[in-house]
């Protein structure tokens, strides 16, 4: 039991599907509970909890309460035997449609270089920002356009690799679950001819074009000021000199992969744009083949913003080769993918540093008939084996997710959602529904079914995060934070001063602080939102 004897009734605060399974999780030994209809005040369900699970990551003995028999749409709250209360939650046929729209709209709020006005931004608008040209480090006197794209995180840096991951997640979500994106028009550009998800991705893709070095095809690693601005500085007030950091192999591989993907996806809608994407991807691939051995990226002297260092680039090269082969059918890319697949890098990971999972998905989505059968079988079997491992871990976890105690790291919620992505990929290639059910458990965790009973998505849930480490949310002086942002979540390493002071000796899953100073647990990023959107889209089809 944790030192404060938490009594949390944890639910998915976004809600549950009327006809689906519904579990609440209790962090203490309580035998029974009841559910109240908030509108009427009536008790509509009484239930018994199950057996205890000793859950080391949370420090609690967890019991579950199954209320799947409650199917009537409405808003509810659970009460324990001694008056303990859950957050409010909904039951609806499609409970995650607003959530998906919010997760996608968050990318609009991340936009750089344009004014966000009241009609579309509500209370969270700001003036156009970061319009100045940037200096290319290592090339004296060279300055070039740097505007556009998405701010990466709680600061205003823009990074090629993480941006590519975020776009890839969104494009994959549309490719696998297109029905989930129909009829959504929430952007200034929405006109019904191109879905919002594809319109929003072009914002980042158009900026990524600017990150490709003219003449060489290589891609600059990042674009930032020399140092982070203060936490209350609004985007338009961040006027420090902008710097393009040098080309890196990791950034170039990610760029080639996402541009090849975009070329395929946008071709039915805009052939000229698709051709531009493919030309850029081929140029990046030419740079990669001309530079087979490149040192990992480190920050240039005088730059202290996020490094996103990556010493291994074989995973990014594999993604680039597989994606180019899928898009073009060109055997040179197939041969390259076959050779790269022999190297020992993680092939089922979707993190910004380990991108091999995207290459695996690209190859498998071609289909067995268009690939080398032995590699196809190897990658498919490996993917399913990894999904089975996550499934086993989830079954032994009190909160039904796949994180072990040591997995509560900086950005643990990215792991939660990336694991859910992998489980859904396993469902796609196997047809087994248990993978999807496990992925949904991960979404439940993100939306409040965790030991702290907090929704880790701003604006979604009665007890949602309120104080993210996000400069616009701090500097705009609006009470509510920018909505739809996924925060990093518990980090047992206690990597910032606030949590070192306030969370010492806490169990791993409780090492979270909803405070603007806690950048290691409460910052936001585009590549935490993107896998959450992918997972949510699956359950909106």
Is residue 471 assigned to a domain? no
Is residue 172 assigned to a domain? yes
* pLDDT score for 301: 96
Radius of gyration, alpha carbons of the chain = 23
Mean pLDDT of 369-373: 97
Is residue 9 assigned to a domain? no
pLDDT band at 292 (very low <50, low <70, confident <90, very high): very high
Reported as type and span, the H/E element at residue 534 is: helix 526-538
Q: What is the pTM of this model?
A: 0.97
* pLDDT score for 118: 83
Residues 6+ apart with CB under 8 A from 113: 128, 129, 130, 131, 147, 148, 149
> What are the CA-CA distances from residue 531 to residues 165, 173, 250, 367, 526 (Å)?
9, 9, 20, 23, 9
Report residue 192 as tokens: 């019904």
* pLDDT score for 32: 95
Above 90 in pLDDT, residue 25?
yes
Is residue 246 assigned to a domain? yes
Q: Whose structure tokens read 């938490």? A: 6
Q: What is the DSSP letter of 337?
A: H
pLDDT, averaged across the chain: 96
Report residue 399 as tokens: 């909160």
Is residue 169 assigned to a domain? yes
* Pairing verdict, β 242-244 and 134-136: parallel
* pLDDT score for 184: 76
Mean pLDDT of 495-500: 98
Give me the active site residues, please. Answer: 469, 514, 523
Q: CA-CA distance, 522 to 507, in Å (whole number)?
A: 17
String of DSSP letters for 394-417 = HHTSTTS-S--GGG--TTHHHHHH
Mean pLDDT of 135-152: 96
Q: Are 258 and 169 in contact (CB under 8 A)?
A: no
> Is residue 419 helix, strand or coil?
helix
Above 50 in pLDDT, residue 2?
no
For residue 56, the Cα-to-chain-centroid distance in whole angstroms is 26
Above 50 in pLDDT, residue 3?
no
Q: CA-CA distance, 120 to 450, in Å (whole number)?
A: 32
Report residue 161 as tokens: 């690799």
Is residue 426 assigned to a domain? no
* pLDDT score for 1: 34
Q: What is the DSSP letter of 230?
A: P
> What are the CA-CA distances from residue 321 to residues 233, 314, 383 (Å)?
41, 10, 19
Q: CA-CA distance, 415 to 195, in Å (whole number)?
A: 28
Report residue 73 as tokens: 């749409």
Q: What is the CATH number of the domain that holds 282?
A: 1.50.10.10
For residue 89, the Cα-to-chain-centroid distance in whole angstroms is 23
How many independent structural domains does the chain possess? 1
pLDDT digits (tens, 9 = 90+) for 195-250: 999 999 999 999 999 999 999 999 999 999 999 999 999 999 999 999 999 999 99
Q: Are 512 and 522 in contact (CB under 8 A)?
A: yes
Above 60 in pLDDT, residue 354?
yes
Max alpha carbon distance in the chain (Å)?
Answer: 72
What backbone torsions phi and psi does residue 147 show, to the nearest 5 degrees?
-75, 160
pLDDT digits (tens, 9 = 90+) for 421-454: 999 999 999 999 999 999 999 999 999 999 999 9
pLDDT digits (tens, 9 = 90+) for 355-370: 999 999 999 999 999 9
Mean pLDDT of 88-111: 97
pLDDT digits (tens, 9 = 90+) for 168-200: 999 999 999 999 999 878 899 998 889 999 999
pLDDT band at 4 (very low <50, low <70, confident <90, very high): low
What is the tally of helices (H) and strands (E) in the chain?
A: 16, 14
Q: What angle, rounded to 10 degrees, do the helices at 331-340 and 314-328 form?
A: 150
> What are the CA-CA distances from residue 92 to residues 20, 79, 443 (Å)?
10, 20, 16
Number of CB atoms found within 10 A of residue 353's CB: 17
Domain range for 254 is 98-311
HSE-CB of 402 using CA atoms within 13 angstroms: 25
Phi-psi region of 342 (alpha: psi -120 to 50; beta: other; left: phi over 0): alpha
Q: CA-CA distance, 456 to 522, in Å (whole number)?
A: 9
Which of 415, 353, 357 minimizes the C-alpha distance to 383? Answer: 357
Is residue 252 assigned to a domain? yes
Is residue 72 assigned to a domain? no
């Amino acid at each position: 039991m944790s030192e404060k004897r938490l009594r949390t009734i944890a639910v998915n605060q976004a809600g549950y599907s009327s006809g689906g399974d519904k579990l609440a999780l209790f962090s203490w030994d309580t035998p029974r509970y009841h559910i109240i209809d908030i509108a009427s005040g009536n008790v509509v369900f009484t239930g018994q909890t199950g057996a205890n699970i000793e859950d080391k990551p949370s420090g609690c003995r967890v019991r579950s309460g199954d209320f799947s028999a409650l199917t009537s749409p409405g808003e509810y709250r659970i009460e324990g035997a001694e008056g303990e209360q859950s957050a409010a939650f909904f039951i609806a046929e499609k409970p995650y449609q607003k959530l998906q729209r919010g997760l996608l709209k968050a990318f609009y709020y991340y936009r750089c270089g344009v004014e966000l006005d009241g009609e579309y931004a509500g209370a969270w608008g700001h003036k156009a920002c970061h319009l100045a040209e940037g200096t290319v480090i290592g090339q004296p006197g060279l300055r070039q356009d740097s505007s556009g794209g998405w701010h990466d995180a709680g600061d205003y840096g823009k990074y090629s690799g993480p941006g590519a991951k975020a776009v890839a997640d969104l494009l994959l979500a549309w490719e696998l679950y297109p029905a989930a994106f129909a009829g959504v028009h929430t952007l200034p550009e929405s006109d019904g001819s191109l879905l919002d998800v594809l319109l929003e991705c072009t914002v980042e893709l158009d900026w990524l074009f600017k990150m490709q070095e003219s003449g060489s095809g290589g891609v600059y690693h990042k674009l930032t000021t020399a140092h982070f601005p203060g936490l209350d500085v609004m985007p338009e007030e961040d006027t420090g000199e902008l710097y393009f950091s040098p080309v890196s192999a990791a950034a170039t591989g990610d760029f080639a992969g996402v541009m090849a993907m975009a070329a395929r996806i946008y071709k039915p809608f805009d052939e000229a744009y698709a051709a531009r994407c493919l030309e850029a991807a081929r140029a990046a691939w030419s740079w990669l083949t001309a530079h087979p051995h490149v040192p990992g990226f480190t920050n240039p002297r005088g730059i202290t913003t996020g490094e996103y260092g990556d010493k291994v680039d074989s995973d990014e090269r594999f993604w680039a080769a597989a994606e180019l082969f899928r898009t073009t059918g060109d055997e040179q890319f197939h041969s390259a993918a076959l050779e790269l697949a022999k190297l020992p890098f993680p092939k089922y990971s979707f993190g910004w540093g380990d991108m091999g999972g995207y290459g695996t998905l690209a190859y498998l989505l071609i289909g067995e008939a268009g690939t080398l059968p032995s590699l196809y079988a190897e990658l498919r079997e490996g993917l399913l084996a990894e999904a089975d491992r996550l499934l086993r871990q989830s079954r032994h976890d009190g909160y039904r997710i796949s994180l072990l105690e040591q997995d509560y790291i900086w950005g643990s919620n990215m792991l939660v959602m990336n694991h859910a992505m992998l489980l859904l990929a396993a469902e796609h290639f196997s047809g087994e529904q248990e993978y999807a059910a496990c992925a949904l458990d991960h979404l439940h965790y993100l939306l409040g079914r965790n030991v702290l009973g907090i929704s880790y998505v701003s604006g979604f849930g009665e007890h949602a995060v309120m104080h993210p480490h996000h400069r616009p949310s701090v500097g705009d002086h609006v009470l509510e934070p920018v909505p739809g942002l996924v925060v990093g979540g518990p980090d047992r390493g206690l990597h910032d001063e606030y949590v070192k002071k306030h969370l010492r000796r806490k169990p791993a899953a409780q090492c979270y602080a909803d405070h603007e100073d806690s950048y290691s647990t409460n910052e936001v990023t585009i590549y935490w939102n993107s896998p959450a959107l992918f997972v949510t889209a699956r359950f909106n089809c």
